[in-house]
Chains A and B, each alone.
Chain A
Amino acid sequence: MTYHHAPSPNDTRDAASSMTMEVQTKTGTAQSPKTTASTHDQTLLQVRNLKKYFPITQGILFQRQVADVKAVDGISFIVKQGETLGLVGESGCGKSTTGRTILQLYRPTEGQVVFRGKDLAMLKGEDLRKMRSDMQMIFQDPYASLNPRMTVGDIIAEPLEVHNIAKGKEKKERVQELLQIVGLNPYFVNRYPHEFSGGQRQRIGVARALAVNPDFIVCDEPISALDVSIQAQVINLLEELQDRFDLTYLFIAHDLSVVRHISDRVAVMYLGKIVELTDSRTLYANPLHPYTRALLSAVPIPDPIIEEKRERIILVGDVPSPVNPPKGCRFHTRCPLAIPICKEVAPEWRDVGNEHFVECHVV
């Protein structure tokens, strides 16, 4: 069995020349798994001013749109080849919507998602379907994301069939190989999801995502449904697979400790906006946005001596509704540093140096 593996980093093309590029790299010749390369400089994915609004309608027979849930409201960032970009925020901040909109599981309301030079938002039908073999997703709930009536073998083989990657004996071998890659016994192919524990099911979800040899995987809260001792198993597995197959991750989670651990860079979201983006170390050592600071201070550290000395920034109130987000800066209603301009003018997304981006008037 061979790996049809991912294109090398220098396949990344610029927008103009790539419209003709096809997924030929996918079916390329066998390659040995790559070791980690310092390829973090090339952009794999660029998101520009991405917006996703969900309409709220009224009326039964004649539905009219009365408002929008502004789940994602104008965010821009890049994901570099081979890195893990963490996306962290509280429930309802739009982090999962961002992940799904990037993969075109939701079509964006506005903005561009440029993957290897192609704007995914413009792709449709067959072209988009082909691109999907480069981009996969690992879902949060390992209990809901696997069809209970399908065997594990069929679940993992489905993407191979859909993308015409392997058939017959080859397919069978590939499935067994994938099970082995994620640390499950290949002998399990004929079992059903209910026969597995949560952690094992998440491994099945990972195997399914890997089946098509993707380059980019959106991990949407992949460990939050798992017990603490099992979480580390899955985190380590994701890290190993990244090294082995040169994967790029967008890692979405609400747990800042986990996100900092696994990510090279971290983006912090609040109410549909990214408020700060920087490397993991700087995020802890020198957070600039008041929301990031509050979030960091709220995360408990398993060390009673440190906890005794820490000062918490307790935010008052709750997150406002994304239907009517506050005017100006979205955080001003809860911000301890707010000044008059914050209520009026939305702050700009700016680089304060060393690719440390922040959206705030005050800092």
Chain B
Amino acid sequence: MGNVLLDVRNLRTEFVTQDGVVHAVNGVTFALEEGETLGLVGESGSGKSVSMLTVMRLIPMPPGRIPSGEVIFQGQDLLKLSPEEMRQIRGNKIAMVFQDPMTSLNPVLTISTQITESLELHLGMSKDKARKRAVELLKMVNIPEAERRLDDYPHQFSGGMRQRVMIAMGLSCSPQLLIADEPTTALDVTIQAQITDIVKRLKSELGMAIIWITHDLGVIAGLADRINVMYSGYIVETAHTKEMFANPLHPYTVGLLGSIPRLDEGKKEKLTPIEGLPPDLVNMPTGCPFHDRCSFRTQKCLEENPPLMSVGVKHWSACWNYEAVREKRDEILHREILQPVTA
């Protein structure tokens, strides 16, 4: 810990479409330390996946383009690498696990072929050795009868098992960074618990850094060291996990927390939804992108887009009125919480 592994500076990603230019990521800056778990929280269209696909250089260009930004990984700017150099990093030093385990595995190849591919390619292992390693990897993610299952095809696995296979593939070359894009969203909660349990264990065993993309504040509360909340292509708040949940200082973060029912809530209280819809990424509003839906809005919000401002210890919020948020948020977030049950 302590050394910066990934340093993303002023990253922008746009897509040129028939309807105009979609501003998907609008100047994202953050750093990730070795061994750290970063949660990237936001709703659809907030730019959380696109920003990570940009880091992985997986944005098709055209229609995509990256007008500005640097992605410094271990001293190299990934955006300046040739496709060949990038291939050496992708799957080897940075691996990615996608949301949908049903479509991200190749249905006509066995699991064995798909796992050993990167082992042979990146680590130059022999077929035999790669196969042995594949069995180890499957055992690591709790696939029962790993030796026998190795020659099965993806359709012979359940959704949860496929996602575990994906994680095994992601981990195959012992990456320094694992990017997980909503890896549990398509799964049932009990299976989600199995997966997050495995990821937590592997993280402490292998010491890699993780970026976990999600829209689920519950999942991230138990996983991440630090959280970036994204809205319409901007990071609007960033803080350590406990600080973020105890002391949210952006109206959008407060809105998200106020709009989800909690499992342990007591008497039925009305949720506080965020009214309205996210802005159109083609015609972005002037000023703060959230002003349209914000109950803390002032004149300044319509005119000037707030930068991330330091609002506490390692805590930044992009809101002009964060002091007002601090004073009023408890009215929105107040809930009766039941005592946790002991299992």
Query: A interface vs B, CB < 8 Å?
Result: 90-91, 197, 199, 227-233, 235-236, 239, 254-258, 260-262, 280-281, 284-287, 293-315, 317-318
Contacts and interface: CB of A to CB of B under 8 A. Distances in A.
A284 B277 CA distance: 33
B156 to A, nearest CB: 12
Contacts of A314: 190, 193-194, 197
A236 B273 CA distance: 8
Given A229-B256, A318-B191, A300 B270 contact: no
A73 to B, nearest CB: 19
Given A197-B277, A229-B274, A233-B275, A300 B216 contact: yes
4 closest A-B pairs by CB: A300-B218, A261-B261, A232-B259, A232-B273
B221 A284 contact: no
A195 to B, nearest CB: 13
Contact of B215 (A228, A257, A294): A228
A311 B265 CA distance: 18
B261 A257 contact: yes
A315 B190 contact: yes
B341 A229 contact: no
B161 A318 contact: yes
A105 to B, nearest CB: 24
Given A90-B188, A281-B338, 15 more contacts: A90-B190, A227-B44, A228-B215, A228-B216, A231-B259, A236-B271, A258-B261, A260-B265, A284-B338, A287-B341, A293-B343, A297-B193, A305-B246, A311-B343, A312-B193
B270 A239 contact: yes
Contacts of A233: 273-275
A306 B189 contact: no
Nearest to B258: A232
Contacts of A315: 190, 193-194
A301 B262 contact: yes
Interface string B207-233: 000000001111101100000000000
A228 B259 contact: yes
Nearest to B142: A316
B266 interface: yes
30 contacts: A90-B188, A227-B44, A230-B273, A231-B273, A232-B271, A232-B272, A233-B275, A235-B261, A236-B271, A239-B270, A254-B188, A257-B218, A257-B262, A257-B263, A260-B263, A260-B265, A297-B343, A298-B192, A299-B218, A300-B221, A300-B222, A302-B257, A304-B245, A306-B264, A307-B221, A309-B340, A310-B340, A312-B193, A312-B343, A318-B191
B155 to A, nearest CB: 14
Interface of B: 43-44, 144, 158, 160-161, 188-194, 196-197, 215-219, 221-222, 241-242, 245-246, 255-266, 268, 270-275, 277, 338, 340-343
B218 A301 contact: yes
Contacts of A261: 261, 265, 268, 271
B341 A296 contact: yes
Contacts of A297: 193, 343
A90 B338 CA distance: 24
Q: In this complex, which of B216, B258, B262 has the most chain A Cβ atoms within 10 angstroms of its Cβ?
A: B262
A294 B43 CA distance: 28
Chain A contact surface mostly = helix
A157 B256 CA distance: 35
A318 B221 contact: no
Contacts of A258: 261
B338 A285 contact: yes
Contact of A256 (B189, B242, B258, B266): B189
A110 B268 CA distance: 36
B190 A298 contact: yes
Contacts of B219: 300
Given A254-B189, A284-B338, A313-B343, A232 B260 contact: yes
B215 A227 contact: yes
B274 A295 contact: no
A302 B262 contact: yes
Q: In this complex, which of A286, A298, A304 has the most chain B Cβ atoms within 10 angstroms of its Cβ?
A: A304
B189 A304 contact: no
Nearest to B198: A314
A318 B158 contact: yes
A27 B259 CA distance: 38
Given A228-B260, A302-B257, A235 B271 contact: yes
Nearest to A286: B341
Contacts of A302: 217-218, 221, 245, 257, 260, 262
Contacts of A90: 188-191
Contacts of B274: 229, 232-233
Contacts of A296: 263, 341
A355 to B, nearest CB: 18
Q: In this complex, which of B43, B221, B257 has the most chain A Cβ atoms within 10 angstroms of its Cβ?
A: B221
Contacts of B261: 235, 257-258, 260-262
Nearest to B44: A227
A280 B268 CA distance: 10
A302 B268 CA distance: 17
A130 B216 CA distance: 42
Contacts of B189: 90, 254-256, 295, 298-299
A304 B242 contact: yes
B271 A228 contact: no
A229 B273 contact: yes
A307 B262 contact: no
B340 A306 contact: yes
Contacts of A235: 261, 271, 273
Contacts of B265: 257, 260-261
A101 B67 CA distance: 55
Contacts of B268: 261, 280
Contacts of A310: 222, 340
Given A228-B43, A229-B274, A231-B259, A305 B222 contact: no
B270 A284 contact: no
Contacts of B43: 227-229
Contacts of B196: 300
